[in-house]
Structure 1
Amino acid sequence: MSTTTQTTPRTTPDPETERAPAAEGFSGEPAGEAVVDVIDLLAGTTPDSPLSRTRAQRPRARENAQRSFEALLEPADPGSFSHTERYAVATFTAHLHRFEHAARFYADVLSDTAPHLLDPIHHAARDAASTGPAGTYREPGLSAESVPTTAWTPSPALAAQLGPRLSAALTHTHLLVFRPREAGPAALRDLLRAGWSADHVVSLSQLVAFLTFQLRTAWGLAVLRSPHHHEAGRGVSGTTRHEPTGSGEPAGPQPGAHDHGPQTHLDLVTEHPDLHRPERFTQQSLGWVPWLEPVAEDDLTDAQREALVEPARAKMPYFRLLARDPDALRARTLTDLDIFFNTTGGIGRAERELAAAATSRRNGCVFCAHVHAAAATRESGRGQDVQRLLDDGPSADLGDERWNAIVAASVHLADTPLAFNGDDVDRLRSAGLDDTAIVDVVNGAAFFNWANRLMLSLGEPEVPASRRREPA
């Protein structure tokens, strides 16, 4: 099933390079082509609905979320990361979130190219069902918050049906969906050994991370549209867990644990055994180092530089690494800017940063949490309340119901299966948020499920040299 009137996947043209974050978006579609907005479709909204008009207040976020779908699911030139593999990963991811409308949508798309994979993907998702975010922290000061769980890999019989590349991709997908804080260099080496190129390792990570954003955005909008018809299990945050029953092994950060077999391209992955890692969540400055080799600054192509949007990002290894898939990077960046900097209506900058910080705290992304907790402090002047969120976790009382409601909604959006429901909408409305403001909370929290999974799966934070004698 194509999401446009065309019968083959395609990518739309890029917008012009320079724009203010809140500027009107560029559609980029040929005249006369009817394009389905996938988030609207999954949320059950129509173009003339009040909720669709509310989404339209963030035009660049809306358009570039769709452009991200096109870049990651329907690129004009998919290379060796085939459309079938992309649709299979998306179907598996939707099933893991127990978002059945989305799972049916992606299964329908997959059936166009590989109907023989539908049953294996369904069985894999059923076998791999779990809850998250979970896993073991690498930061010593957070060890008490670790939630031990089991890594999932396809059984030998299922792997024979899927093949080595797709088996490796689904294993990586399960890691990113449920245990992103346990990602490490070994997971990247496993993909390289299975035949994934470095560029497509980045594209796969982008795809899974994007889907965690897309599904949460659509789910949040569906709940807002019909608050008490989209109830999800609230047991997700508790201690009762459904463990995968496939070929599992104890999980946890285990650098080098799977280092065996041919060494093809393995020199592109770097471990940092002597890295000065943070001890816990902090608002103080941190650096970030990649495990997978970024594009060298001097080797960036014109398309990759354009994808950075901001030229200064050419100095940053994280963005040069994401530039291995420039179309996805550009669309992601423009989505980000509109969600966080278009302040026409809705919630203010401080509350958007609070949603990002709370999501990052829940998912265990120490780097993202430090950036956005510090931004929330800067925008609000409430540094002690923000630090309480970092120190005590998302259940901390931050001193007023509006902030507490935003944090609770963000945390429930971070949970897998999706736990955001009508109670969250009621609480946000009682705290004074209208639909535009609630959409901002959904967008901000959903986006940081995307950001967290990229940061956690491609590298790790470090304490900069200037702070190595201070508590992290």
Structure 2
Amino acid sequence: MSDSSGTDSTDIIDFLAGIHAGEHVADLRRNRTQAQTNAQHSFRVLLEAGDADGDSDGGFTDTERYVVAAFVAGLHQGRGVAFYTDLLGDVADTAVVDAVTESVDAGLTVGPYGTYREPDLVGESVGGPEFTVDPRVRGVLGEKLAAALEFAHLLVFHPRDSRPERLAPLAWCWWTPRQVVSLAQLISFLCFQLRAAEGLAAVKAADSTHAPLGDSSVVRRPGTAQEPGGFPPLTGGAFDVLSYPDLHRPTRFVSHSLGWQPWVPPVEEKELTDRQRTALVDPMRAKSAYFRLLAHDPDALEARTLTDKDIFYNVTDGAGRAEREISAAVTSRYNGCVYCASVHTGRALQESTGREEDVQRLCDEGAGADLGSEMWNAIAEASVALTSTPVSFGVDHVRRLRAAGLDDGSVIDVINGAAFFNWANRLMLSLGEPELPARFR
């Protein structure tokens, strides 16, 4: 990366949002110092700490990470396109940059879409295009990066189409479990970062007399529903993709607890290193297959966990816990993450009183359900707009949140909550699946 990029000292979310020190939004953002610091640290560990540890598969290099980042930013069509394309141009030749740009143009569509595997949700399935890297582009980028871009398109636009079979192309291109986790973290982090920047820019713009209502320059191309192509076997690659033919799966969205089973082999509890245990933050997470899976990339896990805790549990000011949880729950419902929705509808119930019917409507009817109050409905609308790809959140959403009684610090908490769960949902959906505990069968 060239010195001219200035990423060593620049807060990337502030930069993308057009926020400057001393401005109202910049000052409010400092109320979540841990979230801000660790979002920036996530950028560094995922974009500027390429895997060059001598593994036989060659690692996950910085240049490969910039290729993926430029592709993901391009698919979002927002504020990050020029930034990430420039970063790629610092380290790659013109042919690679052109190949990524061509892939972005071929992959543009509108999300989220996808097919539910849960029987009671089949009627909510929405078809959409399957992205395949063009053979000529594949010749420029190579099979390993082509598989990564196809996986990235899945996560950006239709993460609920994730299945064990979707990981097999990565395994057969010799992505190791550690590198698959880093790849999923990178894509999912960018889905958070770009949404946070769009949301903060809208808060800043909402005070302008001539503020635009949204970005009218994005291309909203629905695409044509397609069936996925054939996938290689689950076994025989760099790792064996795990699958569970007899798993007891949930049939719908619920507000009670669920289990979760990984498709990528996690680190065994007895094999966790001291660094990995520190990255878990909470020692009890060593019992969780999900967190032991993310521990393959301990730096990314630790930064993500600290970002999460500040966004949702720092209650010295800003939005109430229930409002933050409903932003997470609506985002998860709209993306189709049954596991995350179960956790955060349950927490929304714990943090509120008398909202059982409202939360049940969210589970049953979806993200457009009437949640029983103008504040919750405004949060739901904002969360859906932030979750859409391309992002459709704008100053009209900020003004509705303000009118519902939220100050700007609280609005930023809602933005952060929805943006963060665009990170969390994609990890949960792409790396494993929910399981119905025995007591609920």
TM-score interval for Structure 1 and Structure 2 normalised by the shorter chain: over 0.9
Whole-Å Cα distance in 2 between the matches of residues 266 and 202 of structure 1? 13
1:62 and 2:42 aligned: no
Find the counterpart in structure 1 of residue 351 from structure 2: 379
Find the counterpart in structure 1 of residue 371 from structure 2: 398
TM-score (norm 1): 0.87
* 1:60/1:2 CA distance change after superposition, 3 Å: farther
1:39 and 2:17 aligned: no
Find the counterpart in structure 1 of residue 227 from structure 2: 250
**Percent of residue pairs bearing the same amino acid type:** 52
Whole-Å Cα distance in 2 between the matches of residues 96 and 454 of structure 1? 18
Q: State the shift of 1:455 in Å.
A: 0.2
Whole-Å Cα distance in 2 between the matches of residues 428 and 216 of structure 1? 17
Q: State the shift of 1:78 in Å.
A: 4.7
Task: Provide structure 2 residue ranges, at least 5 long, that are not aligned to the other structure.
Answer: 54-58
Find the counterpart in structure 2 of residue 409 from structure 1: 382
Q: State the shift of 1:115 in Å.
A: 2.9
Mapping of 1:87-166 within 5 angstroms?
Answer: 87-99=66-78, 101-116=79-94, 117-166=96-145
* 1:424/1:3 CA distance change after superposition, 3 Å: farther
Find the counterpart in structure 1 of residue 155 from structure 2: 176
Find the counterpart in structure 2 of residue 24 from structure 1: none
2:21–2:27 CA contact under 8 A, matched in 1: yes
Find the counterpart in structure 1 of residue 440 from structure 2: 467
1:139–1:280 CA contact under 8 A, matched in 2: yes
Q: State the shift of 1:158 in Å.
A: 1.5
1:296 and 2:268 aligned: yes
Find the counterpart in structure 1 of residue 337 from structure 2: 365
Find the counterpart in structure 2 of residue 214 from structure 1: 193
Q: State the shift of 1:3 in Å.
A: 7.4
Whole-Å Cα distance in 2 between the matches of residues 432 and 423 of structure 1? 15
Partner deviation per Cα, 1:437-471 (whole Å, 9 max, x = no partner)? 11000000000000000000000001011221xxx
Whole-Å Cα distance in 1 between the matches of residues 300 and 121 of structure 2? 33
Q: State the shift of 1:195 in Å.
A: 2.1
Task: Provide structure 1 residue ranges, at least 5 long, that are not aligned to the other structure.
Answer: 10-33
1:314 and 2:294 aligned: no
Q: How many residues are matched?
A: 430
Find the counterpart in structure 2 of residue 20 from structure 1: none
Whole-Å Cα distance in 2 between the matches of residues 184 and 136 of structure 1? 11
Q: State the shift of 1:106 in Å.
A: 0.7
* 1:261/1:357 CA distance change after superposition, 3 Å: closer
1:53 and 2:31 aligned: no
Partner deviation per Cα, 1:49-71 (whole Å, 9 max, x = no partner)? 11111000000000000000011
Question: Structure 1: which amino acid aligns with 2:89?
Answer: S
* 1:234/1:91 CA distance change after superposition, 3 Å: closer
Q: State the shift of 1:127 in Å.
A: 0.5
Whole-Å Cα distance in 2 between the matches of residues 366 and 347 of structure 1? 25
Between 1:313-322 and 1:386-395, the stretch displaced more is: 386-395
Whole-Å Cα distance in 2 between the matches of residues 265 and 154 of structure 1? 21
Whole-Å Cα distance in 1 between the matches of residues 64 and 273 of structure 2? 27
* 1:421/1:188 CA distance change after superposition, 3 Å: same
Partner of 1:410, secondary structure, is helix
2:116–2:122 CA contact under 8 A, matched in 1: yes
* CA root-mean-square deviation: 2.1
Whole-Å Cα distance in 2 between the matches of residues 135 and 5 of structure 1? 37
| Runs of 4+ deviating beyond 6 Å | 3-6
Find the counterpart in structure 1 of residue 256 from structure 2: 284
Partner deviation per Cα, 1:292-328 (whole Å, 9 max, x = no partner)? 1100000000000000000000000000000000000
Find the counterpart in structure 1 of residue 428 from structure 2: 455
Partner deviation per Cα, 1:64-90 (whole Å, 9 max, x = no partner)? 000000110011655411111111111
Q: State the shift of 1:184 in Å.
A: 1.3
Whole-Å Cα distance in 2 between the matches of residues 122 and 300 of structure 1? 40
1:234–1:419 CA contact under 8 A, matched in 2: no
The correspondence for 2:183, drawn from 184, 204, 210, is: 204
Question: Structure 2: which amino acid aligns with 1:393?
Answer: G
Partner deviation per Cα, 1:92-126 (whole Å, 9 max, x = no partner)? 11110111x31110111111110321111111000
Q: State the shift of 1:250 in Å.
A: 1.3
* 1:395/1:249 CA distance change after superposition, 3 Å: closer
Find the counterpart in structure 1 of residue 56 from structure 2: none
Between 1:369-378 and 1:223-232, the stretch displaced more is: 223-232
Q: State the shift of 1:207 in Å.
A: 0.3
1:132–1:415 CA contact under 8 A, matched in 2: yes
